[in-house]
Structure 1
Amino acid sequence: MPSPPTYAAALRDAIADVTHGIAPQQLAAATEALIGRYRSVAPAGPPILDSADRVAAYAAYRMPATHAALSRVLGTVAETGLAPTSLLDLGGGTGAAAWAAAETFTSLRTITVLDQVEEALRLGRRLVESAPVEALRTARFERAAEGSWPQGSADLVTVSYVLSELTADQQGRLVADAMALGQAVAIVEPGTPDGYQRILKARNGIRDAGWQLLGPCPHDLECPLSAGDWCHFAARVNRSAEHRRIKGGELSYEDEKFGWVAGARPGVVAGQAISGRVLRHPLKRKGFVEFQVCRPDGTAGREVISRKQGERYRRARDAEWGDELP
């Protein structure tokens, strides 16, 4: 029997179904408008996804990349022992984080996506109709906005690619709301210098509340990166033919750059110490591998693992950007 499709493939198929019949020119024009908005760091005025065309374009253009980034983030969070049964996605739009969470955590039983744009929620509901697992097929997509979240709580709250659309005050309130509603939170932003600054502020909020950091940092000290540098990671995204067409791309893949931070209330997970976080693509040379890493002692810098180190060297050859240092 053929193996079941991956979540990424299932999501691509669902997106193709809901965008079928929309003229490629319409999708391309809406995508261009979205790209222009996302490249701006100013807070949004009216909602970005303000029409059916833009919502469909967002699904085709952004959902695969957002899903890939969240899959990497939540996969790392799962390594700490977190096993949520409920997910709340604030500002989740069409539900990319929900797909990533359902893929990562087989423990999930309930998923709720909250957003202020009904058109995005409507498309999200359509996408999950043929999802691979029941928790995703029965996910609730409900209308709500920053400052008016419904009562309730969840084991895990996600906030992805939302902070850039808010003012500084709104960003702080949203992070505080996420922490008030969840036992654990995961926050993801674009892997840009300004996205890094927003992640740093969220990280400070998590630390100041006495929560345990779940990643990516191997410590809870000040960020050691020097001025002009920023912490970010990458996820490989396979492009569909339609995705290449609406973005005008030629390659069959792209790398989604993102920054993130996650934390949990004290005692939610036992957690585990790691030897360091790989901050850039490793340089793999004959006889050694060179890493740029963030260390548990709060420093960052160069680490070299040579062939003389045997098994550690063999594991270093397989290590990638964003992994734990072998």
Structure 2
Amino acid sequence: MALRTYGACVLCQRASIVRMMCTGMSAVAHPQSQVDFLKGEVHRKHPGVTNLKTLHLPVELQTAARSIILSAQVNRMTGRIQALTNFLWSRKRAVDDFTLRQKAVSLEKQLWEKAMESSGDVDVQVLQDRIRKKVLSELRRNTYHWTPLKYDEESGVVYMAARLAGGFAAVRRAINEIKKRDPSFAPQSLLDFGSGLGTVVWASHSCWGDTLKEMVCVDSSGPMNILAERLLKGDDEAAEPHIKQVYFRQFLPVSPKVQFDVVVAAFTLSELANAKEREEAVFTLWRKTSSYLVLVENGTKEGHQILMEARDTLLKKQEKTVHDTRPASVFAPCPHELMCPKLATESTTPCNFHQRYQPLPLPGHNDLQTEKFSYLILTRTESPQAETAGVDWARLIGPVQRRKRHIHCRMCCPDGQLQHLVVTARKHSRDVYRCARNSDWGDQLPIIQKVDDDVQTDSE
């Protein structure tokens, strides 16, 4: 019996020595595993995870919205919700005068060249008039006719039914990036430009409700401001607002010295008439920002390009008068400040993200839905994640495909390149592999040493 016990102890010691040797070899083979990018978290909650589970509207907001919608008794509500949803999703930017002139000149040149190829004498004046009419006709037929959106009380209710839950989901997911990566940030003031139904206030309150002391909502639409106040009061004029210190304005504060900890513009830049107005609005919002500027748009080509336009404005252009000299830097989702690689590809696909949410409990809206959105967060301070972790992070820009013993990850990397990486525990360390398996579209991954047979460009 004693001999057996002694033998078992020897085997245990040998096994322990082998494990120690393997661990040491693994650390040498995978120096990335020595970097404490986990910061004490388990793999499924690693620092790069910013996705949220299925989002639900706050109970008070859902109850108030349902009460307003049902009491409004809007005719053909279901059809109007679908029509408005489709219209907003397909909405494009207004074509500016410069682009329109370029199109006209190009089309006129093509028509002249085609006319000159045909034989025979022609009256130049008649031909010129004919070509001009043809150019005008083609421009009218092929140019997107942008018109500003105006909401009255009834159309505002339709908008509420169509976009309240989805808009809340997109904004809540975007600001969760700040909450997760900068947990010490405790904003006291917020500005919402183009506030509409006040969705940003509700999303921000659910994130930083304990610290926010002043929230200013700016929207030029009087009916929208009234609906937003009704939502805050639970559709009861005599009641106290559920969220205090919310102030509604139709114009931005004039003084350039007035700043807010967080400034948000959700689905707003796309409603401005031209590129010049968008640029002026972005500069104005940046002047009002003391810490973070959050921009959210539809996850379409148009939405993505509007955000990249805003990004270039703040990173590459300079205002005539600067009141806060701290420069802008990209906080999310881009892991770099180079040209967006998505815009460099021939078949331009938008950089967008998904968030699942529970829609308002209305007829035909009971199933879970997914909001597809694009966002951009700029900051006046350096990323706290990079400072503490000592490691670069890449952004997952597509679904993570989990396979047996390997994972396909499509990422935008800090070098400004898109990569398709096949992650394995053997080549990229067990920690990185498990983090990748627990990540999803929109999360971040610690940057991994390139391996020839694992890395592919998107063109491949």
Name the TM tier (shorter chain). 0.7 to 0.9
* Larger proportion of helix: 2
The residue aligned with 1:179 is 286
Q: Is the 8 A contact 2:57 2:358 kept in 1?
A: no
Q: Which residue of 1 aligns with 2:304?
A: 196
Q: Displacement of 1:26 after TM fit?
A: 4.5
Which residue, out of 214, 239, 263, partners 2:359? 239
Q: Which of 46, 64, 80 is matched with 2:165 structurally?
A: 64
Distance 1:240 1:189 in 2: 21
Matched, 1:115 2:219: yes
Say yes or no: does 1:129 pair with 2:233. Answer: yes
Query: Structure 2 CA distance, aligned partners of 1:73 and 1:292?
Result: 20
1:105 aligns with 2:220: no
Deviation at 1:30, TM superposition (A): 4.1
Please tell me whether residue 27 in structure 1 is matched to residue 131 in structure 2: no
What is the deviation of 1:143? 1.8
| Residue-by-residue CA offset, 1:173-202 (whole Å, 9 max, x unaligned) | 111111011112111110001111101111
Matched, 1:303 2:405: no
Aligned mate of 2:264, from 150, 154, 158: 158
Asked if structure 2 preserves the Cα contact closer than 8 Å seen for 1:196 and 1:232, the reply is yes
Q: What are the residue-to-residue correspondences of 1:55-94 with 2, within 5 Å?
A: 55-81=156-182, 82-94=185-197
**Contact residue 18 and residue 56 of structure 1 kept, 8 A:** yes
Name 1:319's counterpart in structure 2. Answer: 439
C-alpha distance 286-10 of structure 1, shift in aligned 2 (>3 A): farther
Asked if the contact 1:224–1:298 (Cα under 8 Å) also holds between the matched residues in 2, the reply is yes
Q: CA RMSD in A?
A: 2.6
Alpha-carbon contact 2:56-2:359 (below 8 Å) kept: no
Cα distance in structure 2, aligned partners of 1:275 and 1:264: 17
Q: Would you say how many aligned residue pairs link Structure 1 and Structure 2?
A: 311
Letter in 2 for 1:142: R
Normalization by structure 2: what TM-score? 0.62
| Cα distance in 2 between the residues matched to 1:61 and 1:113 | 21
Other structure's SS at 2:443 match: coil
Aligned to 1:256: 371
Query: Residues 141 and 263 from structure 1, CA distance in 2 versus in 1: closer, same or farther, beyond 3 angstroms?
Result: same
Match for 1:69: what amino acid? A
Aligned: 1:170 with 2:247: no
The question of whether the paired residues in 1 share the 8 Å contact of 2:314 and 2:328 is answered with yes
Q: Which consecutive unaligned segments of at least 5 residues does structure 1 have?
A: none
Whole-Å separation in 1 of the counterparts to 2:243 and 2:441: 29
Aligned residue for 2:329? 212
Identity of aligned residues (%): 24
Aligned pair partner of 1:223 in 327, 331, 340: 340
1:266 is displaced (CA, Å) by 4.2
Distance 1:274 1:83, change over 3 A: farther
Deviation at 1:67, TM superposition (A): 0.7
Aligned to 1:136, what secondary structure does the other structure show? coil
Give the AA of the match of 1:314. Answer: R
- Whether the aligned pair in 2 keeps the contact of 1:278 and 1:320 (CA below 8 Å) is yes
The one-letter code matched in structure 2 to 1:216 is: P
**One-letter code aligned to 1:12:** Q
Counterpart-to-counterpart distance in 1, 2:214 and 2:422: 44
Larger C-alpha radius of gyration, 1 or 2?
Answer: 2
The alpha-carbon deviation at position 24 of structure 1 amounts to 5.4
Identify the residue that residue 453 of structure 2 maps to in structure 1.
Answer: none
Measured in 1, the distance between the counterparts of 2:233 and 2:178 equals 27
Q: Which residue of 1 aligns with 2:402?
A: 284
Helix, strand or coil for the counterpart of 2:356?
A: strand
Q: In structure 2, what is the Cα distance between the partners aligned to 1:275 and 1:138? A: 37
Match of 1:121, SS state, is: helix
More strand by share: 1
Matched-pair contact (CA < 8 Å) for 1:206–1:213: no
Q: 1:80: how far off?
A: 3.6
Residues 307, 313 of structure 1: 8 Å contact kept? yes
Letter paired with 1:74: I
